[in-house]
Structure 1
Amino acid sequence: MVNDQAIQIVSRIVKESKQDLDLMNQKPDTYEHEIRKLYAKHGFEDKYDEVHDFFTRVEGNHRTLLHHKSKGMSTSTWLHQWLAVYEEEDSNFLPELLITIQQDMDIETQEGAFGLTLQSGKTESKSAVRSLFKAITLQTNLQIVSFEQFHKDVPNIVKSEIRAIQKAIKANMGDSFDVPTKEFITLSMLKVQETSMDETLQSYRASQLASIVDSSYTILKVGYHLANGSVRMSDAMEYVMDRTASRLEALVHSTCKRASEKTGAFVGRVIGSTFGPAGALLGKFVGTAIGGMVGEKMSNMISSGIHKIAPIVKEKINQGLEMVGGVIDTGVTKIKNFFGW
């Protein structure tokens, strides 16, 4: 999906934008204006609003989810409530969404598509969303493990440290500078997409690239804070999974808002290609690119944090492959084999 040309493109845009990003670091109140200018400079002015709205939606979702969890609601129940909203216009939206995601993510179950048919009722849909979230959680856990050794690739990719991105990684979880940082990283992925011959990468909407960037950035930032001891292991795991749910809903919302087709099947294909094996592999490249932007020293520290959490995550993956409601996630197994453990 990515090659030496992609590496050169990321390196070039990082070096060209280094001064602009460092200036934003000194004047954070100007970031939205400056990032928009960068998008325009590289020919992506029409993509900025989609990317910015996506990241803003993720942040809002995360705050709302934490509020509902404080009242005793589970993450999967919160996710089901949001996804069920789209059934008001199309009663088949949620079943079609879930059935298509199952197919595109290469998930096999003992009962078909999370046990769903187009005649399934709300109870079945709620259970299916829970199974979906477990399957996507497996994919997220696998991506965490894939970054265990990512620092070894960093010297070969981007050789230009950016203080603004280092500062964003060091800042508290959910810091206000996370959004512009991820918007810039997404811009670099749009440049890679522009010259790529890969059909899957070419098919991604800007919000899909933003979703993959959000996933990789979140994992690496968690790794840094695990390494310096500012976050507990259990809190780190919960944060990553809550962000996953927030990101999933934001991508559904963005697709329904901006795409000409709004059926559950179409949106399901968007989700499946983003959260499935192809998205995970692109996410690995994104993570390595971020590592180059923060430099070898910080990358080594991030990797040491991921080393701390990896044994727990691997155990969860192996348990999940055997126990998640009858789900045998062949997509996860394929990526697991690809990364060699």
Structure 2
Amino acid sequence: MRRYLLSLWLAAIMVCATFPLAARGLDSAVSHDGAEDEDNLVPNPSFEEGRYTPDGWYHNVPCGPTLYLWDHQHQQEGTMSVGVASVDRECGVSEFYWATKHLIPVSPHNTSYRLAAWYKYVAPPATWPQAFLTLWTYDGSKSYLSTLNLSCPYQDTAWHQKEIMLSPESGASLRLPPDACYVRILLCAGAYSDHLTDAEIRFDHVYFGVIEEKPNTPPHAPSISGPASGETGTAYNYTIAAADPEEDMVYYLIDWGTGSTGHWSGPYPSGEAITRQHAWEEDGNYTIRVKARDSEGAESNWSTLRVSMPLTSSTSPSRTGALLQLLHDWALRLAGRELFPLPHRQ
């Protein structure tokens, strides 16, 4: 009897010892590619973390009988997945989605990205719903720009992966907008007609990350055009333009020769000319300096333009002086001699 109890005790120890190993094995299944997960910009990509909803994700407002699912059913890896079921258009809604809560920063001009997600149709659909992997893009002020929709067509009831590359190359089939600074990822069940079936769609392990990043090149030194001389107190227009090799948005910093540069202005599209107006209040020689900065923070060299405001009548004759000169020359030709002397010039 004592030997029997001892054997039970040893068996219990072995069960307890192997349970943490099994749990660790489960965790490793969640991260099937450790290197990929380290580079993944998507929070909680396999939906393993959370209490009432998966951390880092939200779904749009429930409509009628439509269900937003987060549970242990039909997972592709790990223990959890998200889904949409019982899609219904009675509220006038056509897109039912899970989306990342926070915007993900992007740099579309010099960086290529990979976007991928696993999807599954639990049962064959009718015409709708259909699965979509979607990107919403936003500008630097986090205002909405555009939508990229990628269809995930029904093949069978197994898990399938949808994967695309977003390249900055001009000939690429899919590109982020040039002024995009952020994206949001959506896992959608679309229903664009009333020909619906109660087809449940599941999503798991979402990936969005950098696959290639090219060195960023600063903008070219700006061009400056405008009057090189003038009168104090008069405002003059100056046109400035700088092109960026990656077509990044451009900012400008201007010094009107007073030693104060103020603040960066922009952003402006690469190569687009802008006009600024300035008046000098004191006579003198000034050097206008302008530099450009792209949306990645790379700055150009300074460009300069020298401007002269009149110090005395000798540097820029006044209208009165010009009239006196005209009268003097006319009288000299008429009388053959100088009738009145002009003021002596220094």
TM surpasses 0.5: no
Structure 1 or 2: more helix by fraction: 1
Structure 1 or 2: more strand by fraction: 2
Normalised to the residue count of structure 2, the TM-score between the two structures is: 0.21
